[in-house]
């Protein structure tokens, strides 16, 4: 949305514009299976526009007249340098920080689009479809792997471990840059683990990334 601005976890703004949000579908095999989808043999990419981004701490609002809206919790990567046909080392050097995101999906609409062999964007790109957390600087999260979680009403719903990704983060970013240039301020969403489901009014969603980030939001 027009008033979205990247922030660090301490509240200071990141002085980069949000251009686009580049996503991968079915990057966790168990999530693909839970929706009865085949596991792809190459990265399944799509883009959310900047207008889909909102601050995750604001109450979640979304279309109520287009069927079920599912949450998909994902590790988000903030890009800090232009990347075109990047090497793995160049992609790694372009990562500014990590955060968390919800890839909100109009699931009934997506199913109809898939049946017709049509693109997913109408199910993935509505205003408010990408709640984003503040970002943690990369220097605070230099670890072999990262774990993130989603609790709904204090009950564990999703657990993601980057070791389970079919396409690991850095090679994934390098691959994305061979398809379209990534720019400073762009965000990469790295896929959701199993456990997705519909949002319901009144739910409290708590998201955590290691011991470095905790955010909470509610569903209107």
- Is pLDDT at 22 greater than 90 in this prediction? yes
Helix (H) or strand (E) holding 214: strand 213-218
* All residues at 6 or more sequence positions from 72 whose CB lies less than 8 Å from its CB, including other chains: 31, 102, 103, 104, 105, 192, 196
pLDDT tier for residue 174 given thresholds of 50, 70 and 90? very high
**Beta strand pairing call for 130-132 and 53-55:** parallel
C-alpha to C-alpha distance for 174 and 130, rounded to whole angstroms:
22
pLDDT for position 1? 47
Q: Determine if the pTM surpasses 0.85.
A: yes
Strand ranges for 16-169 from DSSP E = 20-25, 44-49, 53-55, 69-71, 73-79, 95-102, 105-106, 130-132, 136-137, 147-152, 155-161
Mean pLDDT of 182-203: 97
Nearest to 90 by CA among 191, 179, 185, 178: 178
In the block, tokens 């070791």 appear at: 163
- The string of pLDDT tens digits covering residues 144-157 is 899 999 999 999 99
pLDDT for position 2? 59
- The string of pLDDT tens digits covering residues 83-111 is 999 999 999 999 999 999 999 999 999 99
pLDDT tier for residue 38 given thresholds of 50, 70 and 90? confident
pLDDT cut 70: percent of the chain above it: 99
Q: What is the DSSP string of 171-208?
A: HHHHHHHHHS-B-TT-EEE----S--EE--TT-EEEEE
CB atoms within 10 A of CB 159: 15
C-alpha to C-alpha distance for 148 and 77, rounded to whole angstroms:
13
pLDDT for position 36? 80
* 17-55 burial: b if 16+ Cβ within 10 Å, else e: ebbbbbbbbbbbeebbeeeeeeebeebbbbbbbbbbbbb
Domain boundaries of the chain, sorted by first residue: 20-218
Provide the mean pLDDT of the chain: 95
With vertex at residue 76, the alpha carbon angle to CA 205 and CA 1, rounded to the nearest 5 degrees, is: 75
CATH topology of domain 20-218: Fumarylacetoacetate hydrolase; domain 2 (3.90.850)
**Beta strand pairing call for 187-189 and 20-25:** parallel
């Amino acid at each position: 949305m027009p008033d979205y601005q990247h922030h660090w976890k301490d509240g200071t703004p990141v002085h980069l514009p949000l251009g686009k949000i580049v996503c991968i579908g079915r990057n966790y095999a168990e999530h693909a299976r839970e929706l009865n989808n085949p596991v792809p043999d190459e990265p399944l990419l799509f883009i959310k526009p900047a207008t889909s981004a909102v601050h995750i701490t604001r109450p979640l609002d979304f279309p109520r007249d287009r069927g079920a809206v599912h949450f998909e919790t994902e590790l988000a990567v903030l890009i800090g340098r232009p990347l075109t046909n990047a090497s793995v080392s160049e992609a790694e050097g372009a990562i500014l920080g990590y955060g968390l995101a919800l890839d909100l999906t109009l699931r009934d609409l997506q199913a109809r689009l898939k049946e017709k062999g049509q693109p997913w964007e109408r199910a993935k790109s509505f205003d408010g479809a990408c709640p984003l957390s503040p970002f943690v600087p990369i220097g605070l999260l230099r670890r072999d792997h990262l774990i993130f979680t989603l609790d709904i009403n204090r009950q564990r719903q999703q657990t993601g471990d980057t070791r389970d990704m079919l396409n690991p983060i850095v090679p994934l970013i390098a691959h994305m840059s061979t398809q379209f240039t990534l720019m400073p301020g762009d965000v990469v969403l790295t896929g959701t683990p199993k456990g997705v489901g519909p949002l319901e009014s009144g739910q409290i969603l708590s998201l955590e990334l290691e011991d470095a980030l905790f955010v909470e939001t509610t569903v209107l």
